[in-house]
Structure 1
């Protein structure tokens, strides 16, 4: 017997005193998390294998260009190789392994990872979002539990909620991280494909660098053209290809160690790092910009966590990724001890002659997979930004029916593809692109460290000393690397910086106006008590069918309703105010999705519905949503009568209520059969008189441009034009 069946009617009525569609259903929701760290070992090992192709393409192809980027002017002293190799090994151990694999992965948001997941997790524990759409009912979701009983966590929560500077600061670094990921998505295809294709000059020395660039451009064109098919269509081959790649680079590394100089293993002694800096001074510090490229794509372990689990990624990193790339770097260093003049083409020159063509072909495939994985991650992050109101509306195409989070953004894909081709043609060498690439990589690392410190204090309630140790160790290491990369600002580092500033500006402008518009509607919401007066007007008549009026407002009646009634004095027989709300959780179970309320007396048949989605949830098509809503509406009518007024204590009254419920349900079915009409307010937003010039530029020009040139609301919700009625309204904010 279920818990709700065993419960007494009185207790049930008390527990379900808020009348919505979730009465019994919320109790039936499974509280299972994502893949988690549990499950059978067979499943975990399978996920570990699959993660190889999705997560490690970028970091696994870094050996193609790290040494050439670290020594752009050649190797001055033989022992410099020991110092750089030691730096590479301990950088791999410190940031990807210790920071991400064993700490950051545990900061997932119900299984989802990435910068926005951290921000979302923080916003669930403290009200740091600037849109006032929090509802008490949201905290009853099965995956929304929070606990800030510790005094320090409560103190931090109060500080964050009372400080606009803290709210703006957290939001700013989050969108900065998103902007840098987009920069990473632009530069990863450029540097990976160009470095792989450059190997062909070993067998075709007559090819010029410009010709290599145009071959790379052709591959990039194909890469971005096939994005619309999605990772799911070709992803099954990713893990085997990348596994072969790791096998080849590990084998090549062992070969070079055995043939050239096995004493390079001395680099595990960190004293060679000290000697390297003592010998080279400023040049050693500048070279860190090349060393950091050995961990490009490490953030993907966290961002792609939702498709795997913690234990699977820990196994694949420590048992496959780290040994393979470490052996490759050691083998390249051993080769360079004998042939230091070949540092510009280390990877392909160190390959044994019989293995060149297999390695070259797999290198091209691995570079494409690395780019594909980075682009998929960038699209997924932007779709989360969209759901949280932090990015202008663009088309989101879900490319897989089996796997969540695999999305394709056509407009964004075109812009990233054009930028990637431009970077390849403009910079032409991996060394030049590397100067820009490093800034994206380290900035995202640093932002994750900052957000992690807040999560550790607020969510995990970690002792302050451990949080300080985490922040100092990793923050200082990342600051040293970032300072090195910024020294190459004029040599290409400016590119992602400028790109990110533009993207951040667009995101900030959109979110700023989005918040102002929401507050404008909140201040002008129609009180529910006035609905009866509106419907009682002589010129207002009730027409057949179901009307769904979409609004972002989750409390009160949106002001566009009054405008609608003034312009078209009619209201549908069944009328529902629908608010689409995105919560700071990865997903909302279907039985918990809708909150329903009745507005006014029963005979009005006017309702309010808040449809709640997590930031990784896929919205249903308009037909599926309408059918789901009407079905839940009938359930709500029945349960409202059952639990609303203590009905059930008197059999006669119960029979009367049951008849009334059945009659209203039949009425809803009859009106639904006559058709569903979607109504939507199309707001033109302008800066109010007396606004500053900066506000006028942001509201009238930047926001206005984005709104006119990107997708409209009804297209984003997939509402067909023949069922849509749009009401124009102008807001002066």
Structure 2
């Protein structure tokens, strides 16, 4: 049993003496992984900055196509309103993308990764907020060795940690806003292609005015079809190759902006005075407030800078934003405002009408390509976020295709891509214009902004432990701005604003249903775990025959033997010569180093040749193919046997040297069930057998290793539970509907577990079992 020592002076000795046998706790200990582009010289940083232009700025860079038409849907009544709206656009760009994201939020990376789930996983490592526990007593014991000096920020962080861990409502609330943000990003990925492509194609009416609105729509539909069809090639092939095109786009819009400023009104630069915003609201009152829903579209795609952080680094994004994006789009908006001061009647199609005639066709062509790239990048980000939700058990199993060997976060999800593509085409055909699509788009954008602000505030208090004045300033300033914009967009609920809520209701219902049953099934298995002593008794009682080969029994439990093992032995009284209880554990971090992939413990006496194994992955890691996985597993298992030999030989000496220190210490014991409730998962019976390992001779170790190699050659069989989850007799009507109908439908119609794990069908054996929750 693991010892708990109250005397601090004996901690170091106890640490040397005791090896923790709680696989759940050990599985949280990982090394720091260097993320893509974190190190390097200026040449590498500048190269990444150039690449980031083609990946993450397509969306915000194509916003000038539709911002003014969305802000003034009923035309411009007063030319001075252009000064107010332009000032509003400029300071929105400065406050939200530049100050909030580029100089604050980007630093809240999760080992290099960004996005809503990265914030959630970062918080979950500092407090036990996940509905399936992700931290155990071993983590707190390790962190306690580095005791920080008392401070008000530390006490505040500890207070917040205790509040989050003790409140089920807080845990559910954090999970809910995280999946809400994910749902909104999915909605964003669906609406971006529709509004970007439709806006770009509309420009052709400047040269072919006879084209009707319906014809514009049917020109856009094939482009959307092609856009979603090329997703399977991935961002690495589609996005990076188009960085030069996006760069040309930024040069074009900056040049056109400067031309319009010089040609029409250089005095438009007065808009940098924020007092014009005040004057605009005084003149227009409620109408000015309503127009905020269009102005906010100037920052669409901003969340992409944070979501795609894992592909680049902070310095590269800061350089590309401040040196390329902001100057280009600012000049474009200023130039359009100068043009509209002279031709206010052209506000419905400001961008293409403000383009000088010789540049029209080059600009139109680049605009089409830029709209496609903007959509592709947003979709790639949506897939990446959804893959993180999958690894944390928050989304039904679907096939995730990794499209790049060099960048782990670039993924493609066929089923989701098909549904999003179909929805985007239906939206384009149904709404026909960018005005109502823009209303829906704005709600998605601002909701994600607000969720990031709230999660960032928790990170500042709990993880960064910033001064309370700094934290309050951040929260008050940005949440006020975002709520003001959100209230404006919600006023257009009937004019298309309801669309993202339809997405959210469907996606959140799906995610909540899957995660609810996932959590309930986990705790059912945990409450019915089989102890190591029971396994040994079972093998003896049923006279179980050992058959050649290696058996891997998969279970979501990372500690304890799953109840399906009893069903297997009772129905088929045979077990493979080498048998592993295998768990795939996704940690709340992006990556786990391959050298730390596997954790082993021996189950029962050595001659049983049964092992407990946890394979640990980060939420951005790519699972190995079955052949590579088993070869790597065999090598690490043999290394474990060698380490056990060394540990068994060394332990008696350490026990003798520590006797004086441990004598008389209080050794509190906890029941298994009480430990479960405190989320400190340590199984006393498992620990007792860990010390059952006798001293190996060198000859014995070599024989064990040769035996593993021989059994691997005999073949590997993957055993998986085919769990049928049903509601219990005391369940409410809602629970019965969720478990027996919604979850059952998802489980029948989505990808099965062995396909997700790339397990060959001819090596798979399923064990049927029913769980009543």
TM-score, L = length of structure 1:
0.95
Would you say the 8 A contact 1:20–1:636 is kept in 2? Answer: no
Alignment partners' CA distance in 2, 1:231 and 1:558: 40
Q: Does 1:42 align with 2:43?
A: yes
User: Structure 1: which 5+ residue stretches go unaligned?
Assistant: 1-9
Q: Deviations over 1:80-107 (max 9, x none)?
A: 0000000000000010001000100011
Shift of 1:659: 1.1
Would you say the 8 A contact 2:580–2:612 is kept in 1? Answer: yes
Q: Deviations over 1:396-431 (max 9, x none)?
A: 011111111110000000000000001100110011
Closer, same or farther in 2 for the Cα pair 1:635/1:648, shift >3 Å? farther
1:111 — aligned with what? 112
Closer, same or farther in 2 for the Cα pair 1:119/1:683, shift >3 Å? same
1:5 — aligned with what? none
Shift of 1:14: 2.7
2:284 — aligned with what? 280
2:253 — aligned with what? 249
2:94 — aligned with what? 93
Alignment partners' CA distance in 2, 1:533 and 1:99: 61
Give the 5 Å matches for 1:84-233. 84-135=85-136, 150-233=154-237
Shift of 1:15: 7.2
Alignment partners' CA distance in 1, 2:139 and 2:229: 41
Deviates more, 1:151-160 or 1:347-356: 151-160
Secondary structure of 2:697's aligned partner: helix
Q: Does 1:658 align with 2:698?
A: yes
The match for 2:714 among 661, 674, 692 is 674
1:701 — aligned with what? 741
Shift of 1:147: 8.1
Shift of 1:466: 1.1
2:329 — aligned with what? 325
Closer, same or farther in 2 for the Cα pair 1:579/1:192, shift >3 Å? same
2:514 — aligned with what? 510
Q: Deviations over 1:665-718 (max 9, x none)?
A: 111111111010000001010000021001001111111111111011111111
1:7 — aligned with what? none
Q: Does 1:343 align with 2:347?
A: yes
User: Structure 2: which 5+ residue stretches go unaligned?
Assistant: 1-11, 655-692
The match for 1:716 among 737, 742, 756 is 756
Closer, same or farther in 2 for the Cα pair 1:15/1:205, shift >3 Å? farther
Alignment partners' CA distance in 2, 1:133 and 1:281: 50
Shift of 1:731: 0.5
Alignment partners' CA distance in 2, 1:556 and 1:506: 30
Deviates more, 1:38-47 or 1:325-334: 38-47
Secondary structure of 2:169's aligned partner: helix
Shift of 1:537: 2.2
1:571 — aligned with what? 575
Would you say the 8 A contact 2:68–2:347 is kept in 1? Answer: yes
Alignment partners' CA distance in 2, 1:270 and 1:350: 25
1:75 — aligned with what? 76
Shift of 1:41: 1.2
2:662 — aligned with what? none
Give the 5 Å matches for 1:359-374. 359-374=363-378
1:64 — aligned with what? 65
The match for 1:296 among 275, 278, 300 is 300
1:14 — aligned with what? 16
Deviates more, 1:654-663 or 1:68-77: 654-663
Shift of 1:233: 2.0
Alignment partners' CA distance in 1, 2:650 and 2:99: 58
Secondary structure of 1:577's aligned partner: strand
Secondary structure of 1:586's aligned partner: coil
Alignment partners' CA distance in 1, 2:712 and 2:137: 31
TM-score, L = length of structure 2:
0.90
Alignment partners' CA distance in 1, 2:273 and 2:37: 37
Would you say the 8 A contact 2:648–2:695 is kept in 1? Answer: no
Alignment partners' CA distance in 1, 2:83 and 2:400: 48
Alignment partners' CA distance in 2, 1:372 and 1:655: 59
Secondary structure of 2:395's aligned partner: coil
Q: Deviations over 1:38-65 (max 9, x none)?
A: 5311111111111101110000000000
Would you say the 8 A contact 1:56–1:370 is kept in 2? Answer: yes
Shift of 1:596: 0.5
Secondary structure of 1:215's aligned partner: helix
Secondary structure of 2:336's aligned partner: helix
Give the 5 Å matches for 1:569-648. 569-646=573-650
1:54 — aligned with what? 55
Alignment partners' CA distance in 2, 1:516 and 1:305: 34
Secondary structure of 1:75's aligned partner: coil
The match for 2:456 among 452, 458, 471 is 452
1:560 — aligned with what? 564
Alignment partners' CA distance in 1, 2:315 and 2:498: 38
Alignment partners' CA distance in 2, 1:176 and 1:373: 21
Closer, same or farther in 2 for the Cα pair 1:420/1:655, shift >3 Å? closer
Would you say the 8 A contact 2:554–2:719 is kept in 1? Answer: yes
Would you say the 8 A contact 1:220–1:421 is kept in 2? Answer: yes
Secondary structure of 2:551's aligned partner: strand
Shift of 1:77: 0.2
Alignment partners' CA distance in 2, 1:37 and 1:382: 24
Would you say the 8 A contact 2:394–2:514 is kept in 1? Answer: yes
Alignment partners' CA distance in 1, 2:579 and 2:771: 24
Would you say the 8 A contact 1:16–1:643 is kept in 2? Answer: no
2:424 — aligned with what? 420
Alignment partners' CA distance in 2, 1:407 and 1:329: 34
Would you say the 8 A contact 1:122–1:458 is kept in 2? Answer: yes
2:358 — aligned with what? 354
Shift of 1:13: 9.9
Would you say the 8 A contact 1:197–1:216 is kept in 2? Answer: yes
Would you say the 8 A contact 2:134–2:587 is kept in 1? Answer: no
2:730 — aligned with what? 690
Shift of 1:555: 1.1
